[in-house]
Structure 1
Amino acid sequence: MRLRTFILLILVLILVAAVALLLLGNSGIGPLSGFLGGGDSDTPADNGTTDNGDNGAEEPLQPPPTATPGLENVVVARVNIPVGTMITDELLEVQRWPRTNIALQGGYTFTDTNQLIGRITKVDVARGQSFLSPMLALNPTDIASFGSDLALYVPFGEVAVAFPVDRFNGAALAMRPGDLVDLMMTMRVVDIDPQFGTILPNNVARIINSALLNGQPFLFPEVKDGRLEFIPEINQVAAIYPSDIGQDGQDFTPGLPIPKRVTQLTIQQAEVLYVGTWEDPRILEQEQIAARAAAQPGEDGNVPPTPTPIPSRLEDQPDVVILSMSSQDALALNWAMIRGVDINLALRSPGDQTVFVTTSVSLPQIIDQGGLAIPEQSNFDLHPSMEDVNLPVLESENPNNPDE
């Protein structure tokens, strides 16, 4: 009984092994794969190449083609366009940009030049830069919706101030937009009465002591800017009056105190925004309308387009310059202009950011610094302008010969 069971067990094991060999052979693995067709030696191995049918040559597998993004029309600037320019067709061109561009996806660009003609730029547009809707105004009257184009030039944290200039105080009118200038101020300093706040000396009113004590009119005739001094040579008290002698070219009034002058560099690195008076774009539009109406039709019957003038921000003979500076400097400049302080502009080198530390200049400082020696008092002097001196005319002894 045991032997029979053992033989049956061996037969079962043999049967299981045979089934396993058959399964492995069908899958191409094992020693029976060649007999059962699982590992046909005539079939080339898969090594990542394909047979193109030409003498057995093989080519590497190619990746699937990448989809090319679509292109769309975008209006860009043909040339550099300053802020505040009314757009015309000759300033525009159309380019093909991929739809993956973020500006295209946001819907801020323009596809047709007709959408932009007549609009006004709020910012500078560089050559090749696309036009975005926030960069444009609808028309000149729409300028008020974002402020003047001048405000676009003012740096953040600064303000624009208009300052009157001529060729003497304005660096010979050599300034151009973008230059940096320094402001030198010359102030006139006078002595004042601490109580009255008026220029010294005060008016002097003399009294008669005996008349004052007796209740009689006690005031001498009114005397201005005089003083009493004892004159030893005549043993009397005399009234001394100020001199009314003046000189040509002086900026003080004879008979009044000569003010002391001090000059200092007060404002530095103010930027020139405009040289001249700002031009309103709305006026430019009216000029354009009048120019088109007056234009004569061409041979084809069409009126040629009139180019839009771009504000140059530079007049030939300006009488005002617009400067950009900090609010504190603007207050100092405003106070100085109201008080009539002499102000001169000094032109800086391009890109010079030096902060100068200077010393106020006055006559004593010039004398001390320059080693100027004040001449000793003498009995003669030279008038600054000899042409203004009326020299005596000597009569000639011989009327027939004036040279004698």
Structure 2
Amino acid sequence: MRRGRVFIYLALILLVALAGAFLFFKNQSKTTEEAAAPAPALVEIVIAQQSIPQGAEITEDVLGSISLPEGTDFGVMFRYDQREDQLVGKFAKYPIEQGVVITQPMIGEAGAIASTGPEWVNLISPGMTAISIPTSRLSSVAYGVADGAHVNVIACFLFVDIDSGFQSILPNRTAFVSQSGFKPSEAPSLSASVSAGQTSEESGSAQGRVELDPTFQQPIYIVPAEDQRPRPVCQTIFQDVTVLKLGNFPVEGEQVANQGEEETPPAQGDTPPAPDAPDIVTLIVSPQDATSLTYMLYGGAQLTLTLRGANDTSRVETEAATLQFLLSQYAIPVPAKLPYGPEPRIDALVEPSLENDSTQPAQ
């Protein structure tokens, strides 16, 4: 029995030794093959050694190179050894930043550059268009909607009831019609005269309605005490819209003039003039949205921008905000008519005046 066990142990030890030797030699052969494998060949590709403005001629001193493996797709790139034949003397269609690989769509002949337009048109994706809308400090998140920001657009409207035939605001004005019809003792009249009743401000009285007085149980005719109050409504109309520019784009003539003038530093003790606050913002939208925005601009809508997060591409379905929606959504009760009230009388909500309101914050 003991001899049998000894032979079994020896056999196991021998198998483990053979397996270890096999793995050792296999790894050694792999290492030798990897060491013997030749390094991939590198190809020098042209890059911008310094920033190249749009429309500038490409010269030898603005070009540099980087090395890429031979298997890279060089379809639209330029090899560094061919730069003089293919690149030098061409013109940049778009602004090319330093370190960017120069490709064929970025360059062209002098005549082709003139048709590409200003440099910011390259920021507009195909199928999209840019439109400008008025803005203010309140409607632009305190001017936080800088170039390249993503925003939502909220539109607010005022609606009134109108007469569909006259296309005028209700209620209509009343007038008197005389000398119409036939009288037995007189010749028939084929014409009628219309005269409007006179009020303190406008000719004609506003059309009212008949109601039954609850005390005397007599019908009375009542007219409105003021003009019809418009009913506001607000809704988010566009989401995840890109801001192309906050403020005015530079005009070519102004750019040339500014480049030729040297800025005069302010005298010691003088405060430099504050820059003009932007009153316009340009958005990148679809052609249909641009048409809708144009209608809203001329239709009296008030537009407000809200700033989105940098990586937020979500879409949230919103409900239009009306007085009825606010009362029900936020459980706001309509105040009851009580036999007492505050003194002094409150007809408008006025923000309290604070001591520091007149003090300008330090810049």
* TM-score for both structures, normalised by structure 2: 0.61
Amino acid at match of 2:168: T
Q: 1:228 to 1:351 in 2, by over 3 A?
A: closer
Distance 1:224 1:107 in 2: 90
Extract unaligned runs of 5+ from structure 1.
Answer: 1-67, 244-254, 295-314, 388-404
Aligned counterpart for 2:249 among listed residues 273, 278, 294: 278
Q: Does structure 1 residue 144 correspond to structure 2 residue 114?
A: yes
Q: 1:87 to 1:261 in 2, by over 3 A?
A: farther
1:372 CA displacement:
1.1
Distance 1:274 1:317 in 2: 14
1:147 CA displacement:
2.6
Q: Secondary structure at the match of 2:136?
A: coil
1:188 CA displacement:
0.9
1:193 CA displacement:
1.9
Amino acid at match of 1:197: Q
Correspondence 1:238-253 to 2 at 5 A: 240-243=222-225
CA offset digits 1:9-46 (Å, max 9, x no partner): xxxxxxxxxxxxxxxxxxxxxxxxxxxxxxxxxxxxxx
Correspondence 1:7-46 to 2 at 5 A: none
8 Å CA contact retained: 1:108, 1:132: no
8 Å CA contact retained: 2:78, 2:102: no
Identity fraction in percent: 22
Distance 2:196 2:182 in 1: 15
Q: Secondary structure at the match of 1:144?
A: helix
Q: Does structure 1 residue 352 correspond to structure 2 residue 352?
A: no
Q: Does structure 1 residue 170 correspond to structure 2 residue 152?
A: no
Correspondence 1:205-354 to 2 at 5 A: 205-207=175-177, 214=183, 219=195, 221=197, 222-227=203-208, 229=210, 240-243=222-225, 255-281=226-252, 284-285=255-256, 287-288=258-259, 290=260, 317-354=277-314
Distance 1:356 1:168 in 2: 23
- Aligned counterpart, 1:188: 158
1:80 CA displacement:
5.7
Distance 1:317 1:160 in 2: 21
Distance 2:291 2:122 in 1: 21
Q: Secondary structure at the match of 1:201?
A: coil
1:159 CA displacement:
1.1
- Aligned counterpart, 2:348: 384
RMSD between superposed Cα atoms in Å: 4.5
8 Å CA contact retained: 2:58, 2:88: no
Q: 1:204 to 1:283 in 2, by over 3 A?
A: same
CA offset digits 1:231-255 (Å, max 9, x no partner): 8589998764433xxxxxxxxxxx4
Amino acid at match of 1:330: A
1:323 CA displacement:
0.8
Q: Does structure 1 residue 127 correspond to structure 2 residue 102?
A: no
Which one has more relative contact order, counting CA pairs under 8 Å at least 6 apart? 2
Distance 1:333 1:159 in 2: 12
Name whichever of 166-175 and 142-151 sits farther off.
Answer: 142-151
CA offset digits 1:132-180 (Å, max 9, x no partner): 56424667x9753123322211112211111111101111111122211
1:357 CA displacement:
0.4
CA offset digits 1:79-124 (Å, max 9, x no partner): 566x7475799993544879x97644699845899847xx5x4335
Aligned counterpart for 1:160 among listed residues 121, 130, 134: 130
Q: 1:165 to 1:360 in 2, by over 3 A?
A: same
- Aligned counterpart, 1:5: none
* TM-score for both structures, normalised by structure 1: 0.56
Extract unaligned runs of 5+ from structure 2.
Answer: 1-40, 184-188, 198-202, 263-274, 352-363
8 Å CA contact retained: 1:193, 1:200: yes
Amino acid at match of 2:174: V
Distance 1:267 1:345 in 2: 10
Q: 1:108 to 1:179 in 2, by over 3 A?
A: farther
Amino acid at match of 2:136: D
8 Å CA contact retained: 1:110, 1:132: no
Q: Secondary structure at the match of 2:319?
A: coil
Distance 1:227 1:212 in 2: 26
1:128 CA displacement:
2.4
- Give structure 1 regions of 4+ aligned residues with deviation exceeding 6 angstroms: 87-91, 105-108, 111-114, 233-239
Amino acid at match of 2:288: Q
Q: 1:145 to 1:85 in 2, by over 3 A?
A: closer
Q: 1:234 to 1:257 in 2, by over 3 A?
A: same
Q: Secondary structure at the match of 1:123?
A: coil
Q: 1:321 to 1:142 in 2, by over 3 A?
A: farther
Distance 2:257 2:211 in 1: 78
Amino acid at match of 1:150: W
Q: Secondary structure at the match of 2:169?
A: coil
- Aligned counterpart, 1:304: none
